Chain A
Amino acid sequence: EDQVTQSPEALRLQEGESSSLNCSYTVSGLRGLFWYRQDPGKGPEFLFTLYSAGEEKEKERLKATLTKKESFLHITAPKPEDSATYLCAVQDIAAGNNRKLIWGLGTSLAVNP
């Protein structure tokens, strides 16, 4: 069964303290892995898509990496405005044309000034 597990559930960092969030997944074949950021009371905001093991993408203080079993979202020198819930989702090749995503429960990140 397709599954996405995110860890930790919650993370509290001091401003400038770098860390990583984990997304481990089980699918028959990976079509894509997606990272989103969600602020309270808002819809998820797209960050990155990764398609194959070894791929990396960066945006400001965020860097996403992908292996055959997991993805990491590295946050370098975070600022309070990086506080949010970070969601991971995967798409199984077996999903065919329906394009359904399998979602993790998210990591709630708090960055203290």
Chain B
Amino acid sequence: DAGITQSPRHKVTETGTPVTLRCHQTENHRYMYWYRQDPGHGLRLIHYSYGVKDTDKGEVSDGYSVSRSKTEDFLLTLESATSSQTSVYFCAIGLADHTQYFGPGTRLTVL
């Protein structure tokens, strides 16, 4: 347990609504990541952060934005949710040796 929590753990929303997922860490790690995991695609990187207010895009960033105003919190926002964004979302923190530790995940369903 690397002190990572995600909220909410489950969410059902409707197409077109905004959604924000929160990742919180307790150990002041510099690197944080947002992934989505879908059958047949594995883990895909959405966005990552290498410090407060320092973020960059991953391989599937379209339709997503992130913010990191504090070291401990990394927020993922779906500005206008679509059914294709139904997925399981994982947050991870990155350690100095490049190992990543994952949170418990958020299951998002967009109807």
Residues of A bordering B, CB below 8 Å: 31-32, 34, 36, 41-46, 49, 87, 89, 91, 97-101, 103-106
Contact = CB atoms under 8 A, between A and B. Distances in A.
Nearest to B1: A45
In this complex, which of B31, B97, B99, B104 has the most chain A Cβ atoms within 10 angstroms of its Cβ? B99
Interface residues on B, range: 20 to 34
Contacts of B100: 34, 46, 101
A103 B42 CA distance: 7
Contact of A43 (B41, B56, B90): B90
A87 B111 CA distance: 30
B90 A98 contact: no
Given A43-B105, A44-B43, A49 B50 contact: no
Given A44-B90, A91-B98, A98-B48, A103 B43 contact: yes
A106 B42 contact: yes
Interface string B30-64: 01000000001111110010100000101000000
B102 interface: yes
Going nearest first, the 8 A-B pairs with the smallest beta carbon separation are: A43-B102, A103-B43, A105-B42, A44-B102, A103-B42, A43-B105, A43-B104, A43-B90
A99 B98 contact: yes
A87 B37 CA distance: 12
Contacts of A49: 97-99
Given A43-B104, A97-B50, A105-B40, A32 B98 contact: yes
